[in-house]
Structure 1
Amino acid sequence: MDLSNNHFSGNIPCSIGGLQNMINLSLNSWICPKTIHPERSQSHWKHSCISNGALCCASRLHVPLCKNRTKVKPNWRKAKYIISGVISVILLAATALILILRKKRNVEVVQEIASLHQFLWRRVSCLELVRATNGFHESNLLGTGGFGSVYRGTLSDRIDIAVKVFNLQLEGAFKSFDKECEMLSNIRHRNLIKIVSCCDELDFKALILQLMPNGSLENWLYSPNRSMTILQRLDIMKDVALALEYLHHGYSIPIVHCDVKPSNILLDDDMVAHVADFGIARLIGGGDSMTETMTLATVGYMAPEYGMEGSVSTRGDVYSFGIVLMETFTKRKPTDEMFVGEMDLKQWIADSLFPDAAIREVVDADILGVEEDGDFVSRRDCLSSVMRLALACSAALPGERINMKDAAITLTKIKTKYLKDCGGINS
């Protein structure tokens, strides 16, 4: 049988060598993984083996060793080392890639911080601040705090600023200055006060802050010639909620402000709120709370666990936010002389939400209006929702309070519903 000089391919049985008849397989592409042992040393087998590289024929035919014949059993010991080497190379390459990417990111962060510090920590001398504030004149005094006073000023390059001068005679003033520098140089949010520069001299320390032309929320609530609409108050408290949400959940380590109150909520030209005064703020690392041996927060706004046990947590800020929310819409301080005995701001609000009571008895009369007003019901419902949120924030037990994420979301929903119901932007 002559099958030579074709394009035949595929496996053939290696027992073919036992055929007594002559068969010519040359010039094809047959495959036989085992050695063919022909019964006779016929010349055609020699030609078949030479012309089919994948056929392995017996050595007595005097043909070159074929590829299959050179195969040996795999050396698993060597394979183990080869595989280990390949894996090691892959791991090294992956590690190098990660390090390169991390280094690139670190370089970007370092450059960003360096650029930031170059802008922020432009040293301003005490003499410059004296000139900027007209000798810290009383007419430029914006307010006083626990560790010093804040003055309005204008630098030589015509930038309007607020200068917070620390009274170094007060215990804790140095620590408060360092703490506020640390906090403000590391946090960035549109609703947090921005630091412009600082003055750190041996006997004089001050922070140069972004000026808030509209003063504080406290000024707006209690100045006889100023008033705010429901929407303005909703927007301000939503800004505060977003700032606290960032401090609690948007930073690598939770930050507790510890002193949320109307005088620490500042308003810019557009009445956008900025939370200020981080002099007693705390970083909460390794857990969700810590214990302070000294209570520095403001009476009336501090959470019960902070005042009694010195327990500092993000839930304490939530409590303070709830109290400020009540004050913003009732125009009543938590320390008002009307609150005596067991009656406090929270209980007064809670009583107003009972079915037989009226929310109009507690809210600021300037924003509710009269019943004949077409939007009276929408305003009343909106204010009731705000007060329920305030009570949810200021629950006596920390575990029963909602978090700032939920508070911000709830305020957004209240505002959306109010706008839909009354259809008025200036209400």
Structure 2
Amino acid sequence: MRSVTSLNLSTNRLTGDISSAIGGLITLVSLDLSNNRLQGHIPESFGGLISLEFLDLCNNSLFGVIPKSLEKLSHLNYFNVSFNRLEGEIPTKGCFPNFSSTSFMENYALCGPPRLLVPPCKNNIHKVHKRTVLQALSYGIPTIGIVVVLIGLALMYRKCQNRTTTRPIEDDLLCLGTWRKVSQDELSHATGGFDESNLLGSGSFGHVYKGRLSDGMEVAIKVFNLQREGAFKSFEIECEAMSNVVHRNLVKVITCCSSADFKALVLDYMSNGSLEKWLHSKNCSLDILQRVDIMIDVAAALEHLHTGHPVPVIHCDLKPSNILLDEDMVAHVGDFGIAKLLGEDDEMKQTMTLATIGYMAPEFGSTGIVSIKSDVYSYGIVLIETFTKRKPVDESFVEEMTIRNWLKSSLPKGIIDVVDADLLRIEDEYFVDKADCISSILKLALECSTELAEERKNMKDVVVELKKIKQRFLNSIKHV
């Protein structure tokens, strides 16, 4: 493995310490060990990964300090150790000034600069105090003067504290947890006064705008329409769900803004829009490998929601418009407005909120019962749509006919009759290989979208199966 450039062991059940031998892989560019059960320290030897650009260790049980040796990694542009048990001072040199607070979330014993939204390090505080006292003594400030100054500062602090605690909640724009604070005025300025020219789209509970924050970061700002019934609850659900999960294939919530009459989420901006746009716009097209990769990304996101966190999350409204693509065409699942969080002993929940017609599992639509298998059903329908370019509410589906029934009855007659015409043509160079690949994917989609929830696959198996299908296709066209 001395020549390996990418190592992804994420979302398994790996336990024990991280091998220090990994530090010898000097050609390694990307290392992902996230969403496992790893313990122990981050190896000091990681400072030897001189080519490393991407390091994700989030959602493990790592403890100890972040090694200072990582400051040597001059190419590192993505670093995530959130949701561990790390402690001590966050390094401040090398690549570390480029990282934001999201790289270090939920490590309650870390300390460092205020911009990372962690407590200041005690050693630094002691040094500052010591230096201040020495300077005061060297200039001969009388003891009584120091006492007077301290008393004055204490009175000012108490006054400010009282003002903060008595300020009306309507004017207090808060961020979730320790996220950065942002005001309604800043969001308004970032979007040109929520100008229509910056409107990216509209949903059930509000509008999404493109914006640029004061630090230059491009973001998507989801503003909730509080006049709509359920908007308040949707905001709370989305905040709760997204504060509990972090994954590369989930749309990252940067922060939120909440007052009595204004609520908004600040999200990562996805420059390539939604899967909906790429499937159904005339000016957009996706090849077979792009579609497979997108659906692998979506499956990985759902697998993490269902099994990668102590509190399972049911998305409840998976559809192409909620699957967003970044500049590298990596898919991110977003819009958790009607998501459900399961308790420790829960396998399902009942809800009065309905999702989008056509993507809802049968038990969801008829009884309001949702489970992680409801998401699997929706995934199966999206998988069918991605490779057939047929929406589940297509006009050709009349009476009892559904997109799944149509596919199940049509697939035995030949793949060419069901697949997106832009994806497969008889004259294609790799027609047989493409047809085999798409047939396997559509059969998997049928297994995900069975009527009975207990017969559906789980998302971990779906991820594995899709990756196998992709590899078989790549191997087949390589040997032609």
Q: Normalised by the size of structure 1, how large is the TM-score?
A: 0.72
Bigger CA drift: 162-171 or 295-304?
A: 295-304
The CA deviation string for residues 49-72 of structure 1, in whole angstroms up to 9 with x for no partner, is xxxxxxxxxxxxxxxxxxxxxxxx
Counterpart for residue 292 of structure 1: 350
Is 1:197 aligned to 2:195, yes or no?
no
Per the TM alignment, residue 327 of structure 1 is displaced from its structure 2 partner at its CA by 0.4
Paired residues of 2:313 and 2:341 also in contact (CA < 8 A): yes
Trace 1:248-259 onto structure 2 (pairs within 5 A).
248-259=306-317
2:217 to 145, 159, 162: 159
Cα 1:102–1:141 shift into 2, 3 Å: closer
Code of the aligned partner of 1:385:
S
For 2:282 and 2:464, the matched residues in 1 are separated by: 32
2:424 to 360, 368, 375: 368
Cα 1:279–1:155 shift into 2, 3 Å: same
Paired residues of 2:338 and 2:353 also in contact (CA < 8 A): no
Gaps of 5+ in 1: 1-100
Counterpart for residue 446 of structure 2: 391
Counterpart for residue 110 of structure 1: 108
Code of the aligned partner of 1:361:
D
For 2:85 and 2:438, the matched residues in 1 are separated by: 48
Paired residues of 1:120 and 1:197 also in contact (CA < 8 A): no
Counterpart for residue 460 of structure 2: 405
Paired residues of 2:241 and 2:341 also in contact (CA < 8 A): no
Trace 1:321-332 onto structure 2 (pairs within 5 A).
321-332=379-390
For 2:378 and 2:277, the matched residues in 1 are separated by: 18
Is 1:416 aligned to 2:478, yes or no?
no
Cα 1:185–1:286 shift into 2, 3 Å: closer
Per the TM alignment, residue 106 of structure 1 is displaced from its structure 2 partner at its CA by 5.8
* Structure 2 residue matching 1:206: 3-state secondary structure: strand
Bigger CA drift: 179-188 or 393-402?
A: 179-188
Paired residues of 2:117 and 2:180 also in contact (CA < 8 A): no
Bigger CA drift: 266-275 or 286-295?
A: 286-295
For 1:378 and 1:288, the matched residues in 2 are separated by: 43
Cα 1:413–1:103 shift into 2, 3 Å: closer
Cα 1:392–1:131 shift into 2, 3 Å: same
Instruction: Count matched residues.
Output: 321
Higher helix share: 1
Per the TM alignment, residue 274 of structure 1 is displaced from its structure 2 partner at its CA by 0.3
When Rg is computed on C-alpha atoms for both structures, the one with the higher figure is: 1
Trace 1:92-131 onto structure 2 (pairs within 5 A).
108=87, 109-111=107-109, 115=118, 121-131=179-189
Counterpart for residue 209 of structure 1: 267
Counterpart for residue 10 of structure 1: none
Counterpart for residue 145 of structure 1: 203
Trace 1:156-195 onto structure 2 (pairs within 5 A).
156-195=214-253
For 1:255 and 1:226, the matched residues in 2 are separated by: 32
Code of the aligned partner of 2:223:
V
Code of the aligned partner of 1:323:
I
Code of the aligned partner of 1:191:
N
For 2:387 and 2:420, the matched residues in 1 are separated by: 6
Counterpart for residue 96 of structure 2: none
Counterpart for residue 137 of structure 2: none
Cα 1:106–1:420 shift into 2, 3 Å: closer
Cα 1:280–1:222 shift into 2, 3 Å: same
The CA deviation string for residues 271-320 of structure 1, in whole angstroms up to 9 with x for no partner, is 00000011111111144533324132111101000111111100000000
Aligned-pair identity (%) = 58
Trace 1:308-327 onto structure 2 (pairs within 5 A).
308-327=366-385
Counterpart for residue 272 of structure 1: 330
Is 1:344 aligned to 2:399, yes or no?
no
